Chain A
Amino acid sequence: GAVVSQHPSWVICKSGTSVKIECRSLDFQATTMFWYRQFPKQSLMLMATSNEGSKATYEQGVEKDKFLINHASLTLSTLTVTSAHPEDSSFYICSLEVWGQGDNQPQHFGDGTRLSIL
């Protein structure tokens, strides 16, 4: 069954609004979660590493004030796209790191969130 629940799966909103995407771990304690961005038919680009109880680590070129990450518990990380604009439209995917918790995979991925900014 699913290990990661990502919500919402699809969101359409007007330019200038902020959008929050949730990533929940269903079966494991996730001290580390990752947020990716995927353009159509392209690779996953790591945006940031979300650490429970501490600040997220952003990859080079990713605006931390634009993409706010909060990882307040071992089962929930949120990504907020602030003041979204059409160029932020993309597919956002979260994953969680569970290796060593009876699992042999480095990361489990969510279904992704399709964000469309009008």
Chain B
Amino acid sequence: AQRVTQPEKLLSVFKGAPVELKCNYSYSGSPELFWYVQYSRQRLQLLLRHISRESIKGFTADLNKGETSFHLKKPFAQEEDSAMYYCALKHGSGNTGKLIFGQGTTLQVKP
């Protein structure tokens, strides 16, 4: 079965500290994985996707097929990074398909 697991409901760090939000997945095919972010009172928005291998707002995520993980990392957290983060897996072929979301992790960056 397809599943996305984010083991931490809340991650609290101080400003400037490194951040790692964990995401593990279960998928029988070749996965396409994404990280979405939801700032307070805002809509869900795409942060990054593993295909592009880019860094957005200092965040990176590497797909590790051996460990079936797609952890989100940032070397130095900022207060404005405080938000809800969702790891998602696209289930479907080609350019279409539904997204399966993890439970979400609230990142709290303290001053």
Interface residues, chain A, CB within 8 Å of chain B?
Answer: 4, 32, 34, 41-46, 49, 93, 95, 97, 99-100, 104-107, 109-112
Q: How far is the CB of A9 from chain B (nearest CB, A)?
A: 11
Q: How far is the CB of A75 from chain B (nearest CB, A)?
A: 18
> What residue in chain B is nearest A31 (Cβ atoms)?
B96
Are A105 and B46 within 8 A (Cβ)? yes
State whether A110 and B43 are in contact (beta carbons under 8 Å apart), knowing that A99-B95, A104-B52 are contacts in the complex: yes
> What residue in chain B is nearest A48 (Cβ atoms)?
B98
Are A107 and B99 within 8 A (Cβ)? yes
Q: Considering the chains assembled together, what is the distance between the CA atoms of A63 and B35 in angstroms?
A: 29
Can you spell out 10 A-B residue pairs with CB atoms less than 8 angstroms apart?
A: A34-B99, A42-B103, A44-B101, A46-B100, A93-B43, A99-B95, A105-B46, A106-B95, A106-B99, A111-B43
Q: Considering the chains assembled together, what is the distance between the CA atoms of A105 and B47 in angstroms?
A: 10
Are A99 and B96 within 8 A (Cβ)? yes
State whether A41 and B106 are in contact (beta carbons under 8 Å apart), knowing that A46-B100, A104-B52 are contacts in the complex: yes
Which residues of the partner chain B approach A112 to less than 8 Å between Cβ atoms?
Answer: 43
Which residues of the partner chain A approach B52 to less than 8 Å between Cβ atoms?
Answer: 104
Q: Considering the chains assembled together, what is the distance between the CA atoms of A104 and B50 in angstroms?
A: 12
Q: Considering the chains assembled together, what is the distance between the CA atoms of A41 and B108 in angstroms?
A: 14
Q: Considering the chains assembled together, what is the distance between the CA atoms of A32 and B94 in angstroms?
A: 14
Which residues of the partner chain A approach B26 to less than 8 Å between Cβ atoms?
Answer: none
Beyond the given pairs A46-B99, A106-B90, A109-B45, 14 more chain A to chain B contacts, judged by CB atoms under 8 angstroms and listed by A's residue number, are A32-B96, A34-B98, A41-B84, A41-B104, A42-B103, A43-B101, A43-B103, A44-B44, A97-B96, A99-B95, A99-B96, A106-B99, A107-B99, A110-B43
State whether A42 and B104 are in contact (beta carbons under 8 Å apart), knowing that A109-B45, A112-B43 are contacts in the complex: yes
Which residues of the partner chain A approach B102 to less than 8 Å between Cβ atoms?
Answer: 43
